[in-house]
Structure 1
Amino acid sequence: MMDDGAKPIIVKRIKKYAAGHHGGAWKIAYADFVTAMMAFFLLMWLLGSTSKGDLNGISEFFKTPLKVAMQGGSGSGDSSSIIKGGGKDLSRQDGQVNAGGVDTAKKSFNLSAAKAALEKEETQRLQTLKERIQSKIENSAALQKFKDQLLLDFTSEGLRIQIVDEQNRPMFPAGKADLQQYTREILEEIAPVLNDVPNRIGLTGHTDSTPYFSETGYSNWELSADRANASRRALVQGGMQDNKIIRVVGLASAAHLDRKDPFNPINRRISIIVMNKKTEENLMRDAGRIEVGTDTEATRDAAARGAQATGAPATK
């Protein structure tokens, strides 16, 4: 039994709490920092051990990578590149490894010789076409009787096939652009042969010097152009590809075949030109050329005269 005069005993219990766990995020950040520093020092070491010429080559490669890759030069996989050899085997020291075995040495090309070779090949192709048409004329019953009206020769534009009139066998009725049936047969026989070459086609209509003029202003110019276009339609109907034709013109009586006799029936003709590449390129380039604002001497003089007439200052 407790004495009434004794002091009570007080027991204090202190609860201890352990510090929270910090986790491992700092380790990841530190590892990234160390990796970045290693990469930085490696870059500095590489830059310090590379010559100035190689550095310029690397700089040019990243400026125009396609140009350097196609034309070659420093930084394009040669042995002087900062990464020796390149390719799959980085231990190579003597240039990029080429699994295809293609000779990567720089080569020079003679453009004039290549152009001459292409022209020679094209001339041979047109010569072969001429021989095929001549053979077809000799062996075709439909064409043999008209062989005197079919003229084949070469001009500066290419192979020219001319269908000319005869006194008693005109290709068209007088003053009209309607094809005679035998003219249509000639064109339909020739049409498939023209598909055998990639060359483009031009058609030109001609008349003789016989005056022709209607009350509506229809003249030999319109007549020759309409006859050329009628011939184009007959060629397409005969099987020639329509997209091969890039020129259909009428020259009326401006370019006679017989200059001594402007009324000779052979001056009335249709010319089919199988164009060479040079003629085709010139035609397409000139057709697509538009010159705007060309400051030539003639335009400056015209501007000066106009300014004097109006009192305005001339522009220079």
Structure 2
Amino acid sequence: MSSPRRAIVIRRPRRVHAAHHGGAWKIALADFMTALMALFLVLWILSTATPSELQGLAEYFRTPLKVALTNGDRNSASTNVIPGGGADPAHSDGERARIDLKRQSRPAEERQRFIDLRQRIETVIQADPRLRDLREQMRFEMSEEGLRVQLMDTDRQPMFELGSDRVSAVMRRLLHTLAPLLNDVPNRLSISGHTDSLRYARGDSGYSNWELSSDRANASRRELVAGGLDSDKLLRVTGMGDRVPVPGSNPGDAVNRRITLVVLSDRAAARLQAGSRPDVIDLPSQRVPD
């Protein structure tokens, strides 16, 4: 008797197709590539921008959005009806204060004025063959006080005779060139003289670096006025001796023999005229026991 035939079972694996996950990853990748391209584009633009354009760009991002939209100064970011508070403008005192506030330069406008002044100074000096070499002896700095222009001395090209306030010919020409440019801005001016740490034989008991720095500052003032500077623009002329060396320099280096011209901001000039400093605190008087 024949054995029953065994059934042949063929097992075929079922092919399960994965569910469609959508294209969200493609959108995320596209956004990432777009942002990356924008970053490289910004970096390329910054690498080709001039220093003045970079300063203007930095000032743009420092300005609050509310101030930029209202085309006002930073005080307009205040929630008060009157910028910075104060008296009611309906009264004479408040109205006068409001008018004075309008007359003041906005910080952004004043900063741009300083940038333009620096560019004019550099252009004029570069165009004069006799002053072109002095560009390396000039430093420009922007600070809260204003635009600082430092005229550095060197052993190769001194601006004053050694140990004297006699102005050299090239320094005189430089100051006469700067005078009309400084007249073009309404800001007041401060002049300070500095020396190196080399002391006189008698030290500070006789004629010293204090007198020398003051004499050189006043000699520079006279040359500026002779070059056409309006003397009413001068607000301060001081001698600092050797007490404020250039950061990172040796106190005896020639760069510390310098004249510093500061085109003062409106706020810095107002503080000087008021005879006050922002870091001075009036302490209450105390009765001294008898």
Query: What is the TM-score of this pair, normalised by structure 2?
Result: 0.60
Distance 1:227 1:186, change over 3 A: same
Are positions 1:172 and 2:160 aligned together?
yes
Q: Retained in 1: the 8 A contact 2:105–2:266?
A: no
Q: Retained in 1: the 8 A contact 2:104–2:266?
A: no
Q: Residue in 2 aligned with 1:270? A: 259
Unaligned runs of 5+ in 1: 1-66, 73-109, 288-293, 308-316
CA RMSD of aligned residues (A): 2.9
Q: Retained in 2: the 8 A contact 1:258–1:264?
A: no
Q: Residue in 1 aligned with 2:223? A: 234
Residue-pair matches, total? 191
Q: Residue in 2 aligned with 1:138? A: 126
The within-5 A match list for 1:1-316 is: 71=90, 118-214=106-202, 217-286=206-275, 296-297=285-286, 300=287, 303-304=288-289, 307=290
User: Which 10-residue stretch deviates more, 211-220 or 128-137?
Assistant: 211-220
Q: Retained in 2: the 8 A contact 1:206–1:255?
A: yes
Q: What CA distance in whole angstroms lies between the structure 1 residues aligned with 2:121 and 2:223?
A: 17
Q: What CA distance in whole angstroms lies between the structure 2 residues aligned with 1:123 and 1:168?
A: 34
Cα deviations across residues 13-66 of structure 1 (Å, max 9, x unaligned)? xxxxxxxxxxxxxxxxxxxxxxxxxxxxxxxxxxxxxxxxxxxxxxxxxxxxxx
Shift of 1:261: 1.0
**Relative contact order: is structure 1 or structure 2 higher (C-alpha 8 Å, sep ≥ 6)?**
2
Q: Retained in 2: the 8 A contact 1:142–1:186?
A: no
Query: What is the TM-score of this pair, normalised by structure 1?
Result: 0.55
Q: Percent identity?
A: 36
Shift of 1:214: 4.2
Unaligned runs of 5+ in 2: 1-86, 92-97, 277-282
Aligned residue for 1:248, secondary structure, equals strand
Aligned residue for 1:146, secondary structure, equals helix
Distance 1:221 1:213, change over 3 A: farther
Which 4+ stretches in 1 moved above 3 angstroms? 113-117, 213-216
Q: What is the one-letter code of the residue matched to 1:223?
A: L
